[in-house]
Amino acid sequence: MSSFATGTDEEGALQTCVLRTHSLPQPAPLGTLTSWKASLLGPDLPAEAQALVERLEESRVRMMHELSSSSAAASASAAAAADTSSTTTPGLDAHLSALQQLLESLNCQATVKVYRQLQFCWTGALCVGIPVTARRHEPCGEIIYEIVMVVWAKVMAAYRRGVALLTTATANSASENDLITAACKAFATAAAVAQYLSEDVLPRWLNAGRRAVENMPEASAGVARAFRSLCLASACQCVVAQALRAAAPSSRVLSKLCAAVAMNATEALDSVHKAPQESRLALDPSLLTHMAFLKAVFSALAFFHAGEAAQKGAVAVANYGAATTLLRQQGSAASAAAAGGRHDPFSAGLPQLTGNSSYSSCYPALAALLGAVKDKHETADIENARIYYEAPLREVALPEPVSLVKAPKYAPPPAGSVVYFAVAKKAAPKKAEAQAEAVEAEVPAAAPAPAAAVTTTAPAPVAAAEAEAAVEESDETFARRLQEEWNVSAPHA
């Protein structure tokens, strides 16, 4: 291990760089146009349906309070870090369960009476725009849209909890290990929910493609997959941070762990690149900057530790050189300013951070890292030229990534049994029975016959076998008579 990772000041700078996270605002529901009771609660509604409507109304109010209060963000205390089994979003879980039950119930019914059109209003978390009003989506009347945004809120709540725990870990050395472990679990949970969103929820929304190109990144499955990869990259960061705290960390192991972070960050950028252009342009550029930052920094760290593992020769020189290249910022400050502060997140190299206030605390750490890598590169190059005489390598591949983080399978809250919004009607009688009932209703059985009416006596009922024999005999007699007539009238040969 190099002196860069063992010195106190250098280790603190490296930890600051490794634990760099990006916090996003929560999606916020707006309740001015949404009233389940006004839309679905009617006088003829069965008791079970009334209970579901009231449950939806209460759970949405509880969810709105949960997301608007400070409890929506993760608690930054050691007690919250220790209690990793309990959910931090009970209101979201309750509302999601009620929504799933409603949707499954509606799928089993042809029509449901609606007294007022439902309109769901949300403020997004991934859109461009610092003011809240700039991130407000157009109202939508589809229930699946409400489900999509609730699941996004769960993703963001878990991700923000991981960010809060890591932020606390950097300032609390006594419980740093526990906080980093809890943050890793929170990021893995966010990745699992994002995968459920991209694979199970968004494909059920028929208008997701149309909304994705209408400046709504949350409707894009590609954006959901990108955020899943970002959450996995953040979880892998926690593993790297734990490995750096070891007494004698292995450079070869560190190179593979850092490569796992870079791999997930690369997959996140690739997923964004494959998303619809409108969704990509609507994304908050700081999110893309963070993805590019993770890709460049951890690729550089992977090459740096691979060079440390090689220690000498052309392999060490090539790895140190690749790390040095990646730690240089893209372009100059002037070109970045001319581009409106933007950079190309899909290109190699570190994004422009000089004028970015969000990365001001990380800039000294990056400068220290770049200086250490350049010193290593120059020393290895001189030693190879004087001692080993190995031919320089044209290029070097990123070390094989090893990810110790697996996103668990997310199981949504149970939806419950199907609820019917109309009382089941009695089955209609058969046609013959209906006609008999109609005749019976029109002519009472005890009604006297009119004086001028001609009454006839019905023949005595005949047994079924006798009636069938009579029919057969009659047919036979009729056939014989026709045969006799034919024999008489037919010309003889």
- Residue 386 main-chain phi, psi, to 5 deg: -95, -30
Q: Which two tokens stand for residue 248?
A: 């004698």
CA distance 376 to 383: 11
Residue found under tokens 């959910």: 87
Residue found under tokens 């609730």: 150
The closest alpha carbon to 126, from 145, 158, 157, 152, belongs to 152
Q: Please report, for residues 186, 374, 391, the alpha-carbon distance to residue 233 in angstroms, rounded to integers and kept in the order given.
A: 12, 26, 35
Q: Is 323 left (phi over 0), alpha (psi -120 to 50) or beta?
A: alpha
**How confident is the model at residue 172, as a pLDDT?**
60
CA distance 368 to 273: 32
**How confident is the model at residue 290, as a pLDDT?**
92
- Residue 30 main-chain phi, psi, to 5 deg: -115, 130
Segment-wise mean pLDDT, segments of 10 residues, the chain, 493 residues: 41 73 83 84 92 95 84 43 56 95 92 90 80 72 93 94 85 77 95 96 88 83 95 96 86 96 96 88 88 93 95 94 88 48 67 76 84 93 93 92 91 91 61 43 37 36 44 53 51 43
Enumerate domains of the chain plus CATH numbers.
3-388 (1.25.40.280)
User: Which pTM value belongs to this model?
Assistant: 0.79
Q: Which residues contact 283 (CB under 8 A, 6 or more apart)?
A: 126, 127, 128, 217, 223, 272
Burial class of 213 by CB neighbour count within 10 A (0 to 12, 13 to 18, 19+): middle
User: Which helix or strand (DSSP H or E) is residue 82 part of?
Assistant: helix 78-82
**How confident is the model at residue 350, as a pLDDT?**
84
**How confident is the model at residue 75, as a pLDDT?**
43
For the chain, how many residues are written?
Answer: 493
Q: Please report, for residues 201, 320, 376, the alpha-carbon distance to residue 370 in angstroms, rounded to integers and kept in the order given.
A: 43, 10, 10
CA distance 404 to 145: 34
| 412-442 b/e (C-beta count within 10 Å ≥ 16 → b) | bbebeeebebeeeeeeeeeeeeeeeeeeeee
Q: Which two tokens stand for residue 461?
A: 């009922």
Residue found under tokens 């009695």: 426
CA distance 23 to 336: 23
CA distance 245 to 11: 9
**How confident is the model at residue 379, as a pLDDT?**
95
Q: What is the DSSP letter of 134?
A: G
Q: Is 82 left (phi over 0), alpha (psi -120 to 50) or beta?
A: alpha
**How confident is the model at residue 335, as a pLDDT?**
44
Q: Which two tokens stand for residue 408?
A: 């668990």
**Residue 475: what residue type?**
D
136 beta partners: 123
CA distance 161 to 166: 9
